[in-house]
């Protein structure tokens, strides 16, 4: 029989790496609550239309990377490739605009993209992200960016670069797209077939093409930064000024347009020098039309999402402190009931406790205690049972003492 393997581009995660995931997840829950973000959990799959309308039908994600399937009732469903569209859909559907304040959400969860797997790039990957609705203040943009940079710094990630751009709004973007189309047409014969198609659809997407020839042409195409309307220019200037007050350094990158169509005004990306080809740690921006386009009120939005596998790659050397394990051993199976009860009491007190039900003799149980890396083994033998005591073996030093069960709690408080 053929061995069944995990699908390409997916990963199994277990100890010790899982400890880093718990550490990261706890850090996210703690950090973002300080800015009043509330967790939101949305379904893993949605109606496909949400993403084609929300993300944009010309994007790589929608064109090439979606896991779309038809269910038994002939509905087209898609495993979410990102979560912004889902959060917006959930807010509209549940009308939380009226009931929740402030409108700030964070999420942690798996996303799915049919991408070519490589280091740091998976087909099922984990993102965390934040979204803020109903506030178009440029200071919010700066605060969102600060909450990305500062969080990564607090995890110990220093070697990163923040790229910043403004991608305009419905006032200035159409004019810019005309100029861009015209310029792209003059280079049409040198562009790849995909990019040629983008000229009429959304020429901004030419900037996403990874082919060297197209990237070279993109390098000389007109830039949105030279075509922003007054409002976008002022907004962007205040974002930059506020970032400087917050001590956040950035690099202006007028060619960074992000791969999703919903962005307006501020767009940003954080890359890491430590990651190789898949160096984007995090990306985001403003999406002031998305909520309205998906049927909600005319309300601004901004957020970002980060690739958690890529953050974990930066936490290689992190030693997450683990609670010490207590191992309860019994000299003879007749003392098993006492051992079980002692384990129960200790777990009630909050200690991680293991006992080996198959432990035929103490020697075998000590071996097991070593395998689970127990800090102390608590031994129950005839003598201990008779006297209401317990022997405690320090597994590192091999020292052993005997104390009364009544003193155990006190002893653990001092020595654990
Ligand atoms: P995105 O740039 O498509 O933005 O993805 C955000 C991050 O997810 C990337 O910077 C990267 O770290 C990670 N990522 C993307 N694809 C993969 C993959 N195949 N394997 C591993 N990691 C990956 C969004 O998803 C937007 N929803 C962000 C946003 C939120 N914009 C506004 N609000």
Q: Which of 278, 277, 301, 303 is nearest to 291 (CA)?
A: 301
Residues 6+ apart with CB under 8 A from 142: 239, 242, 243, 245, 246, 248
- Is any atom of ligand 1 closer than 6 Å to the C-beta of 208? no
Cβ atoms of 208 and 259 within 8 Å: the answer is yes
* Pocket test residue of 66, 82, 145, 275 for ligand 1, highest count of atoms within 8 A of CB: 82
- Taking 80 as the threshold, does the pLDDT of residue 1 lie above it? no
From the alpha carbon of 131, which atom of ligand 1 is closest? 33
Task: Identify whether residues 309 and 329 lie together within a single domain.
Answer: no
Segment 42-47 shows an average pLDDT of: 98
Of all residues in the chain, the percent with pLDDT exceeding 70 is 100
- Taking 80 as the threshold, does the pLDDT of residue 296 lie above it? yes
Q: In 41-52, which positions are buried (b, 16+ CB within 10 angstroms) versus exposed (e)?
A: ebeebbebebbb
CA of 290 to the centre of ligand 1 (A): 17
Task: Identify whether residues 238 and 381 lie together within a single domain.
Answer: no
Q: Which of 55, 54, 110, 45 is nearest to 75 (CA)?
A: 45
CA of 81 to the centre of ligand 1 (A): 9
- Is any atom of ligand 1 closer than 6 Å to the C-beta of 115? yes
Domain count, the chain: 2
CA of 306 to the centre of ligand 1 (A): 6
Q: Can you state the percent helix, strand and coil of the chain, rounding each to 5?
A: 40, 20, 35
* pLDDT tier, 46 (very low <50, low <70, confident <90, very high otherwise): very high
Query: Residue 329: which CATH number?
Result: 3.40.50.800
Chain position carrying tokens 């009860």: 341
The pLDDT assigned to 163 comes to 97
Cβ atoms of 170 and 231 within 8 Å: the answer is no
Task: Identify whether residues 279 and 337 lie together within a single domain.
Answer: no
Task: Identify whether residues 52 and 92 lie together within a single domain.
Answer: yes
Atom 21 of ligand 1 has which residue's CA nearest to it?
A: 121
Query: Residue 244: which CATH number?
Result: 3.30.930.10
Cβ atoms of 294 and 92 within 8 Å: the answer is yes
CA of 282 to the centre of ligand 1 (A): 6
CA-to-CA separations, 253 to 164, 223, 245, 366, in angstroms, rounded = 6, 10, 20, 61
pLDDT, one tens digit per residue, over 109-129 is 999 999 999 999 999 999 999
- Is any atom of ligand 1 closer than 6 Å to the C-beta of 227? no
Cβ atoms of 212 and 192 within 8 Å: the answer is no
- Is any atom of ligand 1 closer than 6 Å to the C-beta of 113? yes
- Is any atom of ligand 1 closer than 6 Å to the C-beta of 282? yes
Q: In 125-150, which positions are buried (b, 16+ CB within 10 angstroms) versus exposed (e)?
A: bbbbbbbbbbbbebbbbbbbbbbbbe
Task: Identify whether residues 67 and 149 lie together within a single domain.
Answer: yes
User: How many CB atoms are closer than 10 A to CB 267?
Assistant: 25
From the alpha carbon of 115, which atom of ligand 1 is closest? 19
Tokens (6 digits) for 292: 């309205």
Whole-model pTM over 0.75: yes
Task: Identify whether residues 28 and 127 lie together within a single domain.
Answer: yes
Chain position carrying tokens 């003598």: 383
Distance CA(149)–CA(406), nearest Å, equals: 51
Task: Identify whether residues 81 and 147 lie together within a single domain.
Answer: yes
- Taking 90 as the threshold, does the pLDDT of residue 385 lie above it? yes
CA of 304 to the centre of ligand 1 (A): 8
User: Is 69 a member of any domain?
Assistant: yes
User: Is 342 a member of any domain?
Assistant: yes
* pLDDT tier, 251 (very low <50, low <70, confident <90, very high otherwise): very high
Domain boundary among 313, 341, 362: 313
Atom 23 of ligand 1 has which residue's CA nearest to it?
A: 307
Atom 22 of ligand 1 has which residue's CA nearest to it?
A: 307
User: Is 373 a member of any domain?
Assistant: yes
The pLDDT assigned to 365 comes to 97
Q: Which of 95, 69, 14, 67 is nearest to 291 (CA)?
A: 95
* pLDDT tier, 401 (very low <50, low <70, confident <90, very high otherwise): very high
User: Is 281 a member of any domain?
Assistant: yes
Domain boundary among 265, 281, 313: 313
Q: Which of 228, 288, 240, 234 is nearest to 261 (CA)?
A: 288
Cβ atoms of 284 and 144 within 8 Å: the answer is yes
Q: Identify the domain containing residue 344 by its residue range.
A: 325-415
CA of 208 to the centre of ligand 1 (A): 14
The pLDDT assigned to 2 comes to 87
Tokens (6 digits) for 129: 């992200």
Q: Terminal CA-to-CA distance of the chain, rounded, Å? A: 49
């Amino acid at each position: 029989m053929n061995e069944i393997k995990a699908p390409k581009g997916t990963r199994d995660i277990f100890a010790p790496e899982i400890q880093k995931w718990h550490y990261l997840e706890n850090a996210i829950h703690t950090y973002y609550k300080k800015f009043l973000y509330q967790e939101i959990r949305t379904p893993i799959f949605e109606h496909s239309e949400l993403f084609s309308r929300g993300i944009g039908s010309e994007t790589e994600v929608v064109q090439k990377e979606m896991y779309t399937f038809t269910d038994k009732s002939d509905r087209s469903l898609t495993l979410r490739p990102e979560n912004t569209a889902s959060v917006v859909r959930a807010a509209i559907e549940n009308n939380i605009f009226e009931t929740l304040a402030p409108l700030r959400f964070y999420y942690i969860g798996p996303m799915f993209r049919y991408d070519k797997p490589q280091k740091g790039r998976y087909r099922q990957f984990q993102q965390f992200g934040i979204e803020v609705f109903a506030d178009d203040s440029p200071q919010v943009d700066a605060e969102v960016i600060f909450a990305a940079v500062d969080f990564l710094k607090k995890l110990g990630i220093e070697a990163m670069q923040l790229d910043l751009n403004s991608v305009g709004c419905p006032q200035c973007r159409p004019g810019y797209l005309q100029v861009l189309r015209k310029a792209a047409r003059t280079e049409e014969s040198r562009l790849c077939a995909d990019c040629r198609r983008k000229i009429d659809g959304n020429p901004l997407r030419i900037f996403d093409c990874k082919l060297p020839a197209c990237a070279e042409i993109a390098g000389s195409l007109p830039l949105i930064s030279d075509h922003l309307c007054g409002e976008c220019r002022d907004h962007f200037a205040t974002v930059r000024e506020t970032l400087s007050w917050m001590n956040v350094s950035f690099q202006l990158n007028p060619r960074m347009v992000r791969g999703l169509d919903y962005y307006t005004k501020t767009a940003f990306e954080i890359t890491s020098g430590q990651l190789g080809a898949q160096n984007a740690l995090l990306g985001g921006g403003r999406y002031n039309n998305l909520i309205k386009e998906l049927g909600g009120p005319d309300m601004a939005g901004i957020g970002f999402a980060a690739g958690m596998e890529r953050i974990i790659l930066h936490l290689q050397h992190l030693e997450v402190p683990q609670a010490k394990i207590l191992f309860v051993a019994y000299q003879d199976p007749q003392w098993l009931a006492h051992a079980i009860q002692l384990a129960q009491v200790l777990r009630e007190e909050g200690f991680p406790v293991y006992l080996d039900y198959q432990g035929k003799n103490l020697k075998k149980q000590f071996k097991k205690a070593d395998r689970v890396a127990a800090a102390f083994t608590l031994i129950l033998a005839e003598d201990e049972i008779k006297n209401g005591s317990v022997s405690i073996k320090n597994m590192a030093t091999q020292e052993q003492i005997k104390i009364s069960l009544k003193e155990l709690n006190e002893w653990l408080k001092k020595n654990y």
